[in-house]
Structure 1
């Protein structure tokens, strides 16, 4: 499966999960490293835009595309398995506990979860401490070229 992540260029190839370890996220508790990817570049862009003011989306951002062997992805989690409030902000313990349990179990390299912004899309959570982590294949690292109409000029 091909997956995508957008970040500042200086962090694109940092696949340690350090950012999520320091701050936690919807699917992991603070102290647990996790990499957040999306099933498409456009879903990845939505994930960035929901957290970042448009004016901060500068030429400093790029994207990384990686390939994960399908057999290393846990795809069992379905929308119906989650509580009605799983999309709330700040994130509820249902999602942080689920993702943290996935990391601790350490059975699969990645977990496919619904995207909170657009649940018919998916995010792919990767455990950087998994024994099969080296089976990830970087396909592309590139500049993020988005339409200037998305960026609000504040001058």
Structure 2
């Protein structure tokens, strides 16, 4: 039996089951240019929440977001463990074009289904980039969606 990696994805309720990478294709992201479809997953659901909290308000997360779990064959994921060696400024905000160029080159090479990269928010944890156009995309097993049940104390300043 092949080793698998369980990963998580948060998205707005109306987009949670869309696994085409259309949002990233339309708007771009840290690791992709506009025009390149990509799915952003994390190794932990809590990292998904941290990533999202850098961009939107807490109330929107608890009311408008759901998550899915996916199982990805580990042998189909490349690893970029030290992005600073290949992409200067990879943690910059907003993302630098070099980071997007690196990711888009990887996407278009179709060298692997996934690419694990350190999170810019918390570099000791990993985000898993999934290429929805890769020939092995059908090997991913995706769960049904679940509502995000996040305790209100997460942002309590007391």
TM over 0.5: yes
For the residues of structure 2 that align with 1:143 and 1:75, how far apart are their CA atoms? 30
Distance, in Å, in 2 between the alignment partners of 1:98 and 1:83 is: 7
Equivalent-residue separation in structure 2 for 1:105 and 1:150 (angstroms): 40
Is the CA contact 2:43–2:126 (under 8 Å) kept in the aligned structure 1? Answer: yes
Aligned to 2:46: 42
Q: Provide the residue aligned with 1:9 in structure 2.
A: 13
Q: Residues of 1 paired with 2:110 and 2:87: CA distance? A: 24
Structure 2 residues without counterparts, runs of 5 or longer = none
Counterpart of 2:128?
A: 124
CA separation in 2, counterparts of 1:28 and 1:73?
Answer: 17
For residues 2-151 of structure 1, the aligned pairs below 5 Å read 2-83=6-87, 85-150=89-154
| Residue aligned with 1:123, SS | strand
Q: Please, which runs of 5 or more residues in structure 1 have no aligned partner?
A: none
Query: What whole-Å deviation, never above 9, does each CA across 1:42-62 have from its counterpart, x for those lacking one?
Result: 001111111112232232211
How far did 1:128 drift? Answer: 0.5
Q: Give 4+ residue runs of structure 1 displaced > 4 Å after superposition.
A: none
CA shift, 1:31, in A, is 0.5
Query: Partners of 1:91 and 1:80 in 2: how far apart?
Result: 13
Question: Offset at 1:81?
Answer: 2.1
Name the Cα RMSD after superposition: 1.6
Q: Tell me the secondary structure at the aligned position of residue 63 of structure 2.
A: coil
Aligned length: 152
CA distance in structure 2 between the aligned counterparts of 1:94 and 1:64, rounded to whole angstroms: 30
After superposing the two structures, state which structure 1 stretch, 136-145 or 118-127, moved more. 136-145
